[in-house]
Structure 1
Amino acid sequence: MTVPHLATALKGPLLELERRILAAQPNIEHWFRSQWHVHATPFYGSVDLRNSGFKLAPVDMNLFPGGFNNLNSDFTPLAVQAAMSAVEKVCPEAKSVLLIPENHTRNTFYLQNVAALVHILEQAGLKVRLGSLNPEITEITTLATANGDSVTLEPIERRGNRLVLADGFNPCVVLLNNDMSAGIPELFKGLEQTLLPPWHAGWAVRRKTNHFAAYDKVAAEFAQLLSIDPWLINPYFTQVSGLDFHSRQGEEEMARAVDEMLAKIRAKYAEYGIEQEPFVIVKADAGTYGMGVMSVKSGEELIGLNRKARNKMAVVKEGLEVSEVIVQEGVYTFETVNEAVAEPVVYMLDRFVIGGFYRVHTGRGVDENLNAPGMHFVPLSFESACLPDKKGTPDCPPNRFYAYGVIARLALLAASLELEATDPDAEA
């Protein structure tokens, strides 16, 4: 088992946070249960966490997780039970699922993720077939995955208000592993089948700032439960809109937002005696795959960006133009795996933590985005189903991973609030 190394000099406040989380475990679990009585759990999600030794916080929440192949296979039974729970909630008599993946037919690691997800759903007693939105998939197509498995994609048809396959396969649940960065397909509008996650969770509609606004509420309530400063688990953020990176429109406003945030972080660092230099992450308010992300230590760095930097920020996945950014407090990661910088990514299905992995990057620093070419993954060993070890030290692996699971579930709860608030079908 790989246990991350955390720079020991910085453990103090975090150790105290972990100690409080452990001491409050019964209250925390009761609080989560009460929350899930009121709010519907997203079908699945993955959360990028950063652990700076003085702060443990989520920096991204993905509602279409694409790394099931990187999870520790020992925990597949956990995932299977969670999948059963998730499907029973939406369609108790569900026998079949149409899984719609991304259009990455050449990314064999992504296809391996699809195969891993299919395996989990099949073990949960569901018949699973893969329907593709890719216009190049016009007939049944079998593709190889990175580890030599295969997946079979079929073109989707719409008949009435249902998505089906050519031979009449007509499932009651349509599960998306496609984040709809390119827009919401007309196929999905007005379906009578259950669509998971709902189409308004896709990046054509979703905004990171909406998520972190919901997380503000969740973190404040949770911090009250533990009697801690919410800042220890919550990064500051703000939104800047009306940008055009090509024409440099909005540069000054963005720089001002960065400088204002750096001043707020400096005040907190002074309060806690933290000697590190604050930094800020500027990233596209919609989109994924670590595209459109910059790490800066002053607003001045955003004035007069060169063409390469502007191009990098201007467009994200599927050619989505960036006109809004989230300016987010940078959280250092002082965790390393084999001396390379690492950050934990926690996976959840329904309301259960089912595992995770470390995203490790040998070429990146403690204040940089690790979701970049050159990264690799080391499975996390969530021991005994992410349960804490009451006799262990606060930072022993089961207890650290329990703390990760708690913070990740806070982000999942925030995603639930976010989806409720942005649901176009909800009554005003």
Structure 2
Amino acid sequence: MKDETNTAGLRMGTLAVHAGQQPEPVTGAIMTPVFQTSTYVQPELGRHLGYEYARTQNPTREALERNVAALEGGAYGIAFASGLAAHDTMIKMFSADDHIVCGEGVYGGTFRLFSKVIARMGLHFTFVDSSSLDEIRAAIRPNTKLVHVETPTNPMMGLTDIAAAAEIAHAAGAWLSVDNTFASPYNQQPLALGADLVLHSTTKYINGHSDMVGGMAVMNSPEIHEQYRFLQNAAGAVPGPWDCWLALRGTKTLHLRMQAHNANGLRIAQWLETHDKVERVYYPGLPSHPQHALAQRQMKGFTGMISIETGSLENATKLVNNTRIFALAESLGGVESLIGHPAMMTHASVPVDRRQAMGLSDGLVRLSCGVEDVEDLIADLDQALAKV
């Protein structure tokens, strides 16, 4: 694709492979090179070639930023060293005494960052069940500057009506930001539904191969982009070029991988719902999910993320310790299937009473269904559940 900006009318698969990139002009290399440099030579004092210092600009990083922005239907993308770095930089756009409404079902690390770090600096947070528009609306204050949600939530798979939440935020003069990590741009595009900001842990579905850590923010507003970009450079939480190259390699197959994740997730969720050792299945693609109609309306697919209630810590322990293909590990969204225990792993930093209020029990187990043969994954879960 010679014109890296000409993406109008292109579909997801074409954007995944080509958006934001062009053959390297010197050699014609079709893959964006890894520009492994810290600085750039300037031809003369006061004149450079568009690049001065690698914290501020890197061509590999810029290609990834353009690519993910196109996948999200956004004008600007800004890459970070991690998903939490993207969240941290977003919050730095606000000042002491500003108020932020945050969904209580966000990733445990996000809750820890907001409640234990940023709150000490004078910002005020109200955590709500963002599946309830009434709770979001009731939490709004005169000094509310941001409504932040994660949908689907981690790990309870709850949904927020993005379009309605955007209306509430905008009526209050606030922004709506959406952590789209669980859904991926393939399954959900919050900017098209009214969100002002979309955030990702690119470590997950965007990269898809469990071999790098990164984050991304995407937006359409030039003003938000300018503030965000200034803070990225000022605070310096930028990714290295090799991590950007790995993520860019991953996006080229995003549309193919997500089709497999979606298919495996739905099939496994349907099977788990019939299993007598499973008390409840949390998966938006099931008609039994209380927000299934919303999922059908704002999502293209339902991902490979499933949470199940096993009834007790003992049952959960037996399940996660006995799978053979599902690997017991943190993270999600890779081609390989993972299994985890949120209360002791991803959400251990969330207070017990708050976990319990959300339904995040000691018996909850989270699955990240990969792209392996689904019959093998079902057989693996079946033999492990037999030991529960």
State TM-score, norm by structure 1: 0.32
Structure with the larger strand share: 1
| Greater relative contact order (CA < 8 Å, ≥ 6 in sequence) | 1
